Amino acid sequence: DKAPETVDPDSVSNDGKPCGHGRMLRKEDPRFVRGKGHYVDDVQLPGMLHLAILRSPVAHARVVRVDTTAAQEHPKVVAVVTGADLAEKGLAWMPTLSNDVQAVLATDKVRFQGQEVAFVVAEDRYSARDALELIDVEYEPLEPVVDARTALSPDAPVIRTDLDGKTDNHCFEWETGDSAATDAAFAKADVVVRQEVVYPRVHPAPMETCGAVADYDAVNGKLTLWSTSQAPHAHRTLYALVAGLPEHKIRVISPDIGGGFGNKVPIYPGYVCAIVGSLVTGKPVKWMEDRSENLTSTGFARDYIMVGEIAATSEGKILAIRTDVLADHGAFNGTAAPIKYPAGFFGVFTGSYDLEAAYCHMTAVYTNKAPGGVAYACSFRITEAVYLVERMVDCLAFDLDMDPAQLRLKNLLRPDQFPYTTKTGWKYDSGDYATTMRKAMDMVGYDELRREQAERRARGELMGIGMSFFTEAVGAGPRKDMDILGLGMADGCELTVHPTGKAVVRISVQTQGQGHETTFAQIVGEELGIPPEDIDVVHGDTDNTPFGLGTYGSRSTPVSGAAAALVARKVRDKARIIASGMLEVSVADLEWVKDDERGGAFQVKGDPSAAVTIQDIAMRSYGAGDLPDGIEGGLEAQICYNPENLTYPYGAYFCVVDVDPGTCEVKVRRFLAVDDCGTRINPMIIEGQVHGGITDGIGMALMEIVAFDEDGNCLGGSFMDYLIPTAVEVPHFETGFTVTPSPHHPIGAKGVGESATVGSPPAVVNAVVDALKPYGVRHADMPLTPSRVWEAMQGRATPP
């Protein structure tokens, strides 16, 4: 293992200053690679029972009768619980993160295939599963609503009969931007391009599915819940509100999480069932779903049908963008997004361009499909927004017969326009877009690729070059604008430096593979001159960490990372006063000097020999002898950080594909990503995040889809049907970066965890469509499987 560097030589800001904290190997990896990770399913408690959930085989039906007699008689069964049982306790329904309600267990109707109907608690997992087959449910089938396009037709059956006075499947209506100004810009345009663009329903596929172990201690009245949660504190508060348990008597522990990707943001019925199971039996109860349960019943992603329109001059100056969106929210609105943002951050669909006007209107509907909506590294629907605008820009390039890279360069926001308020009201913090775009074009060898493409086309070969330029809004969020069910989106952080100079930092976000145990130690270490190896990062346990809203929307670095830097500075402020006592000078005579050998030290100005490190100061802070007036012993601090704004990372991505004209198979030959996420804390981890996100994007663009048949049967319920890419389908990744720090983040960092999932699908689709240009193809919908490519080549792609 190489000793960690404090400053990565690769990380030089656009203005030439070094930044970043070093390509340090991940502190958590020795544990993972040696099989010492500790996941929810590893939790074993004495007397622990096992829970299995009976799920609906049909998409829409009235529940006439649930007979549990035979299951109760199974020798290993301890309890069987139905919706009616939960209704007696007032627990049959729970709130979703979007202020809707969702059935924990069905009482009146089932509303999607895979919905929870009853659960069994048994002595072992196998008996629990066996006993499910002994439960006899009588369903009276109802016509399902499968296609969002028909959900609002007058004869569509009403799904949400549980909602008072509900007579249709309307979920919500939303708009943003200026409709009149957009109409005016369209009226004077030389060219208007209209295209329907569908982002199909997809699903994150973390290696670990969702699960929980609930342990209710009746004597102490304390509930401990180990669960696969990306937001343990928010979950604890909701359990307290829903179940009426005192919050201080609930401890939520998220141990190691085997991937989340947004799948572990919501509270699922299974978690609540595990809690009820423990309350009812007085024993610890484990629930762990299998892969099919995960794919068919937990938070899906996307499912937006978008009609886009883009207006431009004949020279290719984009004037305005307009879109009308039909959003399929499934049976319950389980979207996790700040409550004032029912469409998440879709409002950034104006992309990275200098527009005169923009407008979006959205209609959201209920259908007989699993709930969810925000998941799969989506940055709160920015995936959909970026896909729309980057597809529309390519459609415009097609109609104008312009080079898509030149068209983008012509319209990108200029550095002097930042901070830039978009036509939909988002304040982009910083950016130097053209530099990033040009760097990507240089790295990929754009001109040479176009020459090669011309030669190949002349030979009848189908080579495609696709690109996307995206801007994200991550780091939710300023608490004045953003909350989840009333909980403001800020993050706490606590830092304790022990007498020997080792430290513990307690954070409120939750790593699921992003490497927080490393990067948060690097952030604190950099501020205090403590080696990251000497700093432990504690997370995922509500009894041992400060309150905060958890990890999603790539908010950890923008919000919690800022909290970590600021809490370290608060400790340093106290250390300075103690140092002034130790060196017998005034505070004003001290300066903090970083150096490679010691990390950093307070030094008397002009006298490098009079210096003390944090480690010296820590010992003194706990040691014998007086401290300066008004200073308490110990070296620790805590804060709660409320971000001033979101951070706006961006990037330029290029994809090169070859399409086999015989088999219509797409091969991704190259993928290059140039990202700008401001100051780069750990370039190795960033590259890992980008590699993962490109893989996601190639998967969505080419093979992933959760489809349904006309009866509402889910056709993506296993990895036989829901295809995810492997090393075979992805190329060797090429990455580059520019560094434009965020002006309001204490270390200038922006989030990056979802950038590549957001930015890569349009680059891949644009590349495939570009390859099919000789066939006159302007658009084709994801996933671009060989059959879809074939259809597009036959002129049967989605109509404009």
Question: Which residues of the chain form contacts with ligand MCN (CB under 6 A)?
Answer: 206, 259-262, 377, 512-516, 519, 551-557, 677-682, 685-686, 689, 692, 749-754
Q: Name the binder of 515 from ligand CUM, ligand MCN, none, CB < 5-8 A by kind.
A: ligand MCN
Q: Does 376 participate in binding ligand CUM (rule CB under 6 A)?
A: yes
Smallest separation, CB 546 to ligand CUM (Å): 20
Taking the complex as a whole, how short is the minimal distance between the CB of residue 379 and ligand MCN, in angstroms? 7
Q: Give the nearest distance from C-beta 751 to ligand MCN in angstroms.
A: 3
User: Which of ligand MCN, ligand CUM, none does residue 374 bind to, with CB < 5 to 8 Å depending on kind?
Assistant: ligand CUM
Residue 374 touches ligand CUM, criterion: CB under 6 A: yes
Please, where are the H alpha helices in 359-432? 382-400, 404-411
Question: At closest approach, how far in Å is the CB of 615 from ligand MCN?
Answer: 25
Segment lying near ligand CUM (by CB under 6 A), choices 257-265, 444-452, 613-621, 769-777:
257-265
Six-digit token string for 517:
């145990």
Q: Helix/strand/coil (H, E, C) string of 211-240?
A: EEEEEEECCCCEEEEEECCCCHHHHHHHHH
Q: Smallest distance, Å, CB 497 to ligand MCN? A: 21
Q: Is 378 in the site for ligand CUM (CB under 6 A)?
A: yes
Contact 310, 73 (CB under 8 A): no
Identify the residue among 83, 266, 492, 553 touching ligand CUM (CB under 6 A): 553
Number of Cβ atoms within 10 Å of the Cβ of 660: 13
Give, for 447, the enclosing helix (H) or strand (E).
Answer: helix 446-458
Give the containing element (helix H, strand E) for 81: strand 77-82
Give, as ranges, the residues between 747 and 766 that touch ligand CUM (CB under 6 A).
754
Strand, helix or coil for residue 27: coil
Query: CA torsion, points 366, 371, 375, 378, in degrees to nearest 10?
Result: 0
DSSP 8-state secondary structure symbol assigned to residue 695: H
Do residues 477 and 338 lie in contact, with contact meaning Cβ atoms separated by under 8 Å? yes
Nearer to ligand MCN, 326 or 535 (CB): 535
Q: Rounded to the nearest whole angstrom, what is the least distance from the CB of residue 375 to ligand CUM in the complex? A: 5
The size of the chain, in residues, is 800
Among 117, 131, 265, 577, binds ligand CUM (CB under 6 A): 265
Strands (E), 142-280: 170-177, 191-202, 211-217, 222-227, 250-253
Q: Does 746 bind ligand CUM (CB under 6 A)?
A: no
Q: How far is the CB of 783 from ligand MCN (least distance, A)?
A: 20
582: left (phi over 0), alpha (psi -120 to 50) or beta: alpha
Cis peptide before 419 (omega within 30 of 0): yes
Binding positions for ligand CUM, 577-636, rule CB under 6 A? none
Task: Pick one of ligand MCN, ligand CUM, none as the site partner of residue 265 (Cβ within 5 to 8 A by kind).
Answer: ligand CUM
Stretch that binds ligand CUM, among 148-156, 287-295, 377-385, 454-462 (CB under 6 A): 377-385
All residues at 6 or more sequence positions from 207 whose CB lies less than 8 Å from its CB, including other chains: 258, 259
Does 262 contact ligand CUM by CB under 6 A? yes
Mark residues 206-235: x for contact with ligand CUM by CB under 6 A, - for none: ------------------------x-----
Write the CA distances from 577 to 221, 494, 612, integer angstroms. 44, 20, 12
User: Judged by CB, which is closer to ligand MCN: 316, or 513?
Assistant: 513
Q: Toward ligand CUM, which CB reaches closer, 120 or 337?
A: 337
- Which stretch in 3-11, 308-316, 369-377, 482-490 sits in contact with ligand CUM by CB under 6 A? 369-377
Q: How far is the CB of 510 from ligand MCN (least distance, A)?
A: 9
| 678 contacts 649 by C-beta, under 8 angstroms | yes
Least Å from the CB of residue 257 to ligand CUM? 11
Non-local (6+) Cβ contacts of 760 within 8 A are 468, 653, 655, 671, 673, 693, 694, 696, 697, 698, 701
| Candidate list 93, 426, 552, 602; residue touching ligand CUM; CB under 6 A | 552
Amino acid type, 595: D
Residue 556 binds what, of ligand MCN, ligand CUM, none (CB under 5 to 8 Å, by partner type)?
A: ligand MCN
Q: 138 vs 67, 663, 698, CA distance in Å?
A: 8, 47, 43
Q: Which C-beta is closer to ligand MCN: that of 200 or that of 260?
A: 260
CA dist 622 and 403 (Å) reads: 66
503 touches which of ligand CUM, ligand MCN, none (CB within 5 to 8 A by kind)?
none
Closest contact distance (angstroms) between CB of 303 and ligand CUM is 13
Of 262 and 316, nearer to ligand CUM (C-beta) is: 262
Minimum CB distance to ligand MCN, residue 486 (Å): 22
Q: Residue 169 binds which entry of ligand CUM, ligand MCN, none, with Cβ cut-offs from 5 to 8 Å by kind?
A: none
Helix (H, G, I), strand (E, B) or coil at 121: strand
Cβ neighbour number for residue 224 with a 10 Å cutoff? 21
Residue 519 interacting entry, from ligand CUM, ligand MCN, none, C-beta within 5 to 8 Å by type: ligand MCN
Give the residue closest to ligand CUM by C-beta: 262
Please calculate the CA angle 765-770-773 and round it to the nearest 5 degrees: 130
State the minimum distance, in angstroms, from the CB of residue 390 to ligand CUM: 18
Total of chain residues touching ligand CUM, rule CB under 6 A:
14
Cα separation of 712 and 552, whole Å?
Answer: 30
User: Cis (ω within 30 of 0) for the bond into 477?
Assistant: yes
Give the CB-side neighbour count of residue 380, counting CA atoms within 13 A.
29
Q: Does 377 bind ligand CUM (CB under 6 A)?
A: yes
- Provide Rg for the chain, Cα atoms: 27
**In the complex, what is the shortest distance from the CB of residue 477 to ligand MCN, in angstroms, rounded to a whole number?**
13
The residues of the shown chain that bind ligand CUM, judged by CB under 6 A, are 230, 260-262, 265, 374-378, 380, 552-553, 754
